[in-house]
Amino acid sequence: MSHDSTMQSGQRIDGVAVARAVRDDVAREVAALKAKGITPGLTVVIVGEDPASQSYVKSKEKASVEAGMKGETIRLSEETPQAELEALIDRLNADPTVHGILVQSPLPKHMDANTVVRRIAPNKDVDGFHPVNVGKLLIGEKDGFAPCTPAGVQELLVRYGISTTGKDVVIVGRSNIVGKPMASLLMQQGAGGDCTVTVCHSRTRDLAAHTRRADIVIAALGRPESITGDMIRPGAVVIDVGISRVDDPTDKRGYRLVGDVHYESAAKVASHITPVPGGVGPMTIAMLLKNTVRAARQAGA
């Protein structure tokens, strides 16, 4: 999948295929760890009945088991007191068979997500949201965990042979889940890094002036189809992290899924572009498994 400058514009970056390759690598590593008597284990905790969260959690458990890992889901009712969730996390922190702990968001209104994230042991925080892991990412320590979505974006760039060294990258969105960690990853030294990074957000003046000079645009602002083809420099790489439902009476479901980028217009000018769905999305779970296997390897080291 190497990058060839003679390609026609708008090569689709196939996140499903890359995620499968990452998961195959993970399965091989799991087999090697099992041979040493270590079975990597991921425990996902979900509080309440949010339907989107329920389907995410099912796919995480299924992906873990397919890779040969121990995948466990603990379901708590919406009314669970925060102290009970914290006690559960303490128990999982102390359990040597659990290498990765993930508390599915969103949490019910009466819970404080920050306190819950800080309760997870940093060496088991495979979501990469604990302040210790956030700090390790920023200073370039390799034994911490990067959040799965930005790590997945970086993996797509590397596996497609898209050179990042010295490239101008514009990230649209400054969330703690995508925008900020994405900037940290891309400015590190080494493969998939060494970028000159600009982070744009809702207060940015003249967003298009920034995106038009970028070699790589990463859209993660949560506004459907707000980045259009006229905002993209010809030949740029476009990575779309957004996913939204928009009403579509022509679709039998009554809606369709779109990203933050207007795909049709951007694909005409971009050299590479991720579709939605089927781009960044599948990478998130693949990187979660990759983080969990590394957590198991570091715990057994």
Q: Which domains does the chain have, with CATH numbers?
A: 37-124 (3.40.50.10860), 147-280 (3.40.50.720)
pLDDT at 301: 66
Q: Is the dihedral of CA 80, 81, 82, 83 positive or negative?
A: negative
Q: Which residue in 196, 221, 216, 201 sits closest to 266, CA to CA?
A: 216
The CA-atom distances, in angstroms, between 207 and each of 7, 154, 199, 204 are: 28, 23, 10, 6
Helix (H/G/I), strand (E/B), else coil: 160 = coil
pLDDT at 7: 44
Distance spanning both ends of the chain, measured CA to CA: 34
**For a pLDDT cut of 70, what percent of the chain falls above it?**
97
Q: 257 with 278: CB under 8 angstroms?
A: no
Mean pLDDT of 102-115: 96
pLDDT at 51: 86
Given the residues 60, 70, 136, 167, the one annotated as active site: 60
Query: Does 189 score more than 90 pLDDT?
Result: yes
pLDDT at 171: 98
Query: Does 19 score more than 90 pLDDT?
Result: yes
pLDDT in tens, 270-280: 999 999 999 99
Q: 15 with 274: CB under 8 angstroms?
A: yes
Active site residue 60: yes
pTM for the full predicted model: 0.94
Mean pLDDT of 41-64: 92
Given the residues 14, 124, 125, 127, the one annotated as active site: 127
pLDDT in tens, 223-237: 999 999 999 999 999
pLDDT at 4: 46
Query: Does 8 score more than 80 pLDDT?
Result: no
Write the CB contacts of 189 (distance below 8 Å, at least 6 apart in sequence): 140
pLDDT at 259: 97
CA distance 202 to 20: 35
pLDDT in tens, 277-291: 999 999 999 999 999
The tokens for 291 are 């983080």
Given the residues 14, 70, 104, 260, the one annotated as active site: 104
pLDDT in tens, 134-167: 999 999 999 999 999 999 999 999 999 999 999 9
Query: What angle, 0 to 180 degrees and rounded to 10, lies between the N-to-C axes of helices 15-35 and 51-66?
Result: 50
* Tokens 């703690």, located at residue: 176
Residue 170: pLDDT band by 50, 70, 90 thresholds? very high
Active site residue 268: no
Query: Does 131 score more than 90 pLDDT?
Result: yes
Q: 257 with 244: CB under 8 angstroms?
A: yes
Query: Does 6 score more than 50 pLDDT?
Result: no
Active site residue 127: yes
Peptide bond into 108 cis (omega under 30): no
pLDDT, the chain, mean: 95
- Torsion, CA 57, CA 59, CA 61, CA 63, rounded to 10: -150
